[in-house]
Structure 1
Amino acid sequence: MTRIALWVLVGCLTAAVYASEQIPEGHDLSADQIVEKNVAARGGLDAWRKVQTMVWVGHVDSANSPARDLPFILALKRPNKTRFEITVLNQKTVRVFDGREGWKASPSGMGSGNLRPYTMDELKSAHDEQVIDGLLIDHQAKGIDVTLDGTDKVDGHDAYRLAAKLPSGLIRHVWVDAKTFLDVKYDRKARSARGEPVTVEVSYSDYKNIDGLQVPYTIESGTAASGTRDKLTIDKVSLNPPLDDVIFAKPASPGRRSSVSIDVDASPPALRAMNRPTP
C-alpha cells in the first residue's frame, strides 16, 4: 500500500470513529431547544415555578469524613436561601445563607459552637446558586445566558455541553443527556484548602418522580483532578414545606442560640425555629 493510500485509509478510519462518537443526526439542536426539552423532562416550567421551598433529607459519604453515612438536612427557599445541617459523631455542623450573608457554625474541640461568616469566595458562590431548580429552568428570568458549547460523553452517554453565563459574569457548564434531556453534570470554580483555584464537577443520577417533578437522588462531587468524590444520597424530598425565614437568619452566639428542629416523619416535613435558649 502506498503512503498516500495509507494516509487516506487512516483519515477515513479517524473520521468514522469521530462520527460514531457524535450525537446522531436529527439531534442537532440549538441551545434554546435543548433547554426547552430539559425543562419539559424535569416536569415543566409552571410546575417548578410553584415550588417555593424544598427540603432534602439524606446521608453523605466522604473520604474526608471520620465516619460513613453522615445524616444531613438541606432546606431551600426562593430566591436563594439555604440551610445545610450535617451530623458528625453526634455533633451538628450548620451552614446558613439568608440571600445576602452567610454563616457557618461547627463544634469545637471543647464542644461549644464556633460561628464564622462566609468567606468572600463562599459568598460569591452562594449568590450565584439557583437553589431550587438549577441554572437552566427559567434561566432568562434569572438573567442567565445559555449557549451550546459542544458535545461530550458523560458516563458513556452522549450529552450536550451548555455554557451558562451568570449575572455575575461567571460561566458554568451544564451537561444534558441527549436522550433523557435531564441534567447529568455541571461544573463550578472553587478554591482548594490551600487557596488554589480548582474546578469542581458535580454529577446527578438516580432521578425519581416527586409530584411530577424529576429530582436526582444521587449527587456526587469532586475536583476534576481528584480521584475521590463525595457522595450525597437523598432519602426523602419534600416540596413546599412551611419554612420560616428565621431558620435562615444568622445563628445566635454560642450559649444563647435558638435550636431548630425538623420533623422528618411529617408529610410534608416542617422546619421550625424553637426559641429556647441553649444552656
Structure 2
Amino acid sequence: MSQLTEQYKKFIAILLEKRDKLLIIKINNPQKKNSMTRDAYIEIAQVLRLAGEDDSVAVVAITGTGDYFTSGNDLSLTNAMDRDYDEVLQETDRVLKSLISAYYEFPKVLVAVVNGPCIGIGMTTAALCDIIYCTDTTYFLAPFTKLGLCAEGCSSYTFPRLLGKSKSIEVLLLNQKLTAEEALRLNFVADVVKPNELETKIWPKVMEITRLPMGSLMAGKLLLRRACHSDLEKAMNNECEELQKRFRSEEFFNAIAEFSQRKSKL
C-alpha cells in the first residue's frame, strides 16, 4: 500500500485498513451517523483511483464505522451560503462526478459491506459496487424527492435494472425504505447476516475473493461493465444536470429550511 501510504497519510473522513490484498475503506463520521462530507467524497474517490493501480490491492471493500453505513449527504455541504452559491454548486458538481465515476471506473472487485442503515448517496454508490452484503439491521433509503432533489449516483440507470420498474419508482420517487429482507429477495444484495456475524461470515468471504487470480477477475469485470459504461456516464451527467436545477429550486430551499428547523429543536 505504498502509494496510499505515501500520498494520503492523514485522512479526515475515512479510515483505511489493509488485510493482505484486501483494502477496506471505512466511512468515519460516527457522531453524525457517518454522513458524507465533501472530504469523504474526495478521499474515497482518491483512494479508489490509487487502489485501481496498486498491485498490492486485489479487492476494495467499503463499510462504515459504528452502527450506520452512512446517513447520506451532510446537508451542511449544500448550505454554504457564506460563499457564492454558483461557485458552491459548480464545486459540488465536480466533486460528485469525481466520486461517482471513481466507482463505475474501478477496474477491480468492489464490495459494499453495509453494516447498518444506508441512505442517499450510500445507497446509490452501493448499487455501483460489484457485490453488496448487509446486516439485518440495514435498510436502504433514497429520500431525494423529500429533499426537493432527484436521482443521483447513476440510480436512474441502476435501480430499474436491479429492482425493477415499480420498486425503483417506489424507492427513488416515493421515498420508500427497502428492508434488508426485501433487498435480498430482489437480489439487490447477495447475503444478509446479523451484525455480529460480519467478522465470521462476510469478511472471510470477501478475503476469499482476494485469493482468486486478479487478472482473471479484472478481465471478467471489464466484460461485464464494458457494455454499460457509456450508459452509466450518460446517467451521471443527466442526473447532475438536473441536480443543478434542483439545487436552485424553491422546493429544495424549503426542504433545507425544514431540516434545519427540526435539527435546531433536537
TM-score norm. by structure 2 comes to 0.22
Could you say which structure has the higher helix fraction?
Answer: 2
TM-score norm. by structure 1 comes to 0.21
Bigger radius of gyration among the two: 1
